[in-house]
Structure 1
Amino acid sequence: MSENDNALFNQSLEKGLAVLRAFNAQRRTMNLAEVAEAAGINKSSAQRMIHTLEALGYVCKHSQTKRFQLTPRVMEIGYNYLAADTLVDVANPFLAELAQITGETTNLTEPDGLEMVYVARFVAPKFIPIHMPIGSRIPMYCTGSGRAYLSALGDDEVRAALEASELKRQTQFTLTGTDEILAEIATTRRKGYAINNEELFLGDMTIAAPILGSQGRPVASVHVVAPTSRWTQEDAERRLAPAVIECARAIRTSIRTL
């Protein structure tokens, strides 16, 4: 970062966002000391940030426990992103059609760092083992949508992403070796789609394809959930993969016409 960039950087805003991001499923409510520790700031800064966020309506204090928690107003920021995201508007009818064709839940994810973020979802009436609402985040290295996205990048970019990732074993089926993941990505490039068979969640299998932007760079992935209770990997690849690939191509074509 240059000196000019440093002069423009607003540390107070950074701290305020750090406080908002500190709340999650493991830290649903926090006292002031916990907020400071989770956000990586001192208690004085945490107090100022919490007071400001509370005044703006993004945080509230429970009347009995005196612990802080997020309010629904925080969702306005995420909703505004989805409302302004042209890709979501373009993809929705194709995702709906894919869900109708396959009879399974379809999803659109976009990259953020080393993760993929759910930005659109059409849920099938059939049982699915894992609920992933809009805004959920999944790692790239061990998911169908992540590997589909990575497959459309250059080799150096893929290796750099894997080296920067914490390759944890999520289930007994998770691939954690860089070389074996690279081999899966090479297979994805050859076939045009990626598959994740219970590497992130048991019972959860997905078929995914990358969506390329106007410059030929990947911008997102589309994937279908194929629960192992209903699908074998062979059947999922044979019956679902062609539809997923076609959906990704249709979205890409529509993006180019905008």
Structure 2
Amino acid sequence: MPPKARTAVSPPPPAASAPAPARRPDPLFNQSLEKGLEVLRAFDAAHRTLTLAELAGLTGMSKASAQRTVHTLQVLGYVGKHPQTRRFQLLPKVIELGFNYIAAHPLIRTAHPYLSQLANASGETASLTEAVGTDMVYVAQLLTPKFIPVLTPVGMRVPMYCTSSGRAWLSCLDEAQARALLEAAPRPARTAATLTAVDDILAKVAECRRIGVATNCEELFLGDMGIGAPVVDSRGQPVAAVHIAPPTSRWTLDEAQRKLGPMVIECARAISQAMAH
């Protein structure tokens, strides 16, 4: 049978909600500078040299816009062409930008002697990292003369979710803040050991709050571990993290946590106290 006709009057449709106000353009924002920085950031370990078309694709620019931007960076000495391939590459002048930050940073100057003591006492590489978004960036490092499986130079960024330094930083936030940061970050399985579920990572963060040290065992790089502790300001807010990287060829995680953990905690505490004075 055909359906009966409806006799009731349908309610009127809801009023359309007002459109969200358009974001007001910032009259001081310099888009040309933004494009220049995007080009510089396009170069990394996976893209050491790039063609103009590749730069345009990676930055989302038109080819003409990328060409103007790259030409300007060439004239200023930040970008050049590889002599054989004629592909674009970064030039050493780029290092000045990061070096000026490091040279003027009071935390790095303060932390250096304590990192040196930690490296000497532990026999392992000691590093200082700061948070950038959902990553940690290396800002200082004292290398061990012993074999290390992974090179992590100053300036390198590593994700918070699977590193001891990132978990140490997150341990100084309340759980809601830490969860929000983790949920906002991509969390690929970097190795078979990588924890990717937010609740599992938060359990490691909670452990750091309880014992003062965060750990990571082959979650970022095979053969590499991390033992980290937070550096905090006078209000207990995180400003950096100290960590050492004992390799699995020399240490088990339990042994490293037991023997090296107190050294890392003491180093982070000493830097925190020195920054407060």
TM tier, shorter chain?
over 0.9
Matched letter for residue 142 of structure 1: C
Amino acid paired to 2:69: M
Deviation at 1:206, TM superposition (A): 1.1
Tell me what 1:14 maps to: 34
Secondary structure, aligned partner of 2:111 = helix
1:31 aligns to 2:51 (yes or no): yes
Where 2:170 maps in the other structure, the secondary structure is helix
Q: Give the drift of 1:155.
A: 1.2
Q: Give the C-alpha shift of residue 21 in structure 1.
A: 0.6
Of 158, 174, 185, which residue of structure 1 is paired with 2:178?
A: 158
Determine the C-alpha separation between the residues in 2 that align with 1:226 and 1:66.
41
The reply on whether 1:216 has 2:236 as its aligned counterpart is yes
One-letter amino acid of the structure 1 residue matched with residue 202 of structure 2:
L
Deviation at 1:67, TM superposition (A): 1.6
- How many corresponding residue pairs? 256
Query: 1:81 is matched with which residue?
Result: 101
Q: Look at both structures and tell me which one has the larger radius of gyration over its CA atoms.
A: 2
Residue type matched to 2:79 in 1?
V
User: Take 1:176 and 1:236, find their aligned partners in 2: how far apart are those partners?
Assistant: 23
Helix, strand or coil at the partner of 2:64: helix
| Structure-2 separation of matches of 1:97 and 1:212 | 19
Return the TM-score normalized by structure 2: 0.90
The percent identity for this pair of structures is: 56
Q: Which residue of 2 aligns with 1:52?
A: 72
Give me the whole-angstrom Cα distance separating, in 1, the residues matched to 2:161 and 2:236.
Answer: 21
Give the aligned residue type for 1:201.
Answer: F
Q: Return the offset for 1:26.
A: 1.4
Q: How far has the Cα of 1:64 moved from its partner?
A: 4.1
Distance 2:193 2:218 in 1: 6
1:228 to 245, 248, 263: 248
> How far off is 1:165 after superposition?
1.0
Asked if residue 190 in structure 1 is aligned to residue 210 in structure 2, the reply is yes
State the alpha-carbon separation in 1 of the partners of residues 232 and 23 from structure 2.
32
CA offset digits 1:35-79 (Å, max 9, x no partner): 111111111110110111000000112344332111000010000
Is 1:117 the counterpart of 2:137 in the alignment?
yes
Structure 2 unaligned residues grouped into runs of 5+ = 1-21
Change in CA separation of 1:185 and 1:66 when aligned onto 2, cut-off 3 Å:
same
CA distance in 2, matches of 1:244, 1:207: 7
Q: RMSD between aligned alpha carbons?
A: 1.3
Q: Aligned with 1:246: secondary structure? A: helix
Tell me the equivalent position of 2:89: 69
Shift of 1:213: 1.5
Partner of 1:238: 258
More helix per residue: 1
User: Which of structure 1's runs of 4+ aligned residues deviate more than 4 A?
Assistant: none
In 1, the alpha carbon distance for the partners of 2:187 and 2:234 equals 31
Q: Whole-Å Cα distance in 1 between the matches of residues 84 and 270 of structure 2?
A: 53
- Structure 1 residue 89, shift from structure 2 partner: 0.3
Alpha-carbon separation, structure 2, partners of 1:107 and 1:127: 16
Deviation at 1:181, TM superposition (A): 0.8
The equivalent residue for 2:162 is 142
Match of 2:226 in 1: 206
Once the two structures are overlaid, the 10-residue window that deviates more, 30-39 or 63-72, is: 63-72
Shift of 1:225: 1.2
Aligned to 1:129: 149
What secondary structure sits across from 1:8 in the alignment?
coil
Q: TM-score, normalising length from structure 1?
A: 0.96
User: Residue 34 of structure 1 aligns to a residue in which SS?
Assistant: helix
Aligned-partner residue type, residue 55 of structure 1: V
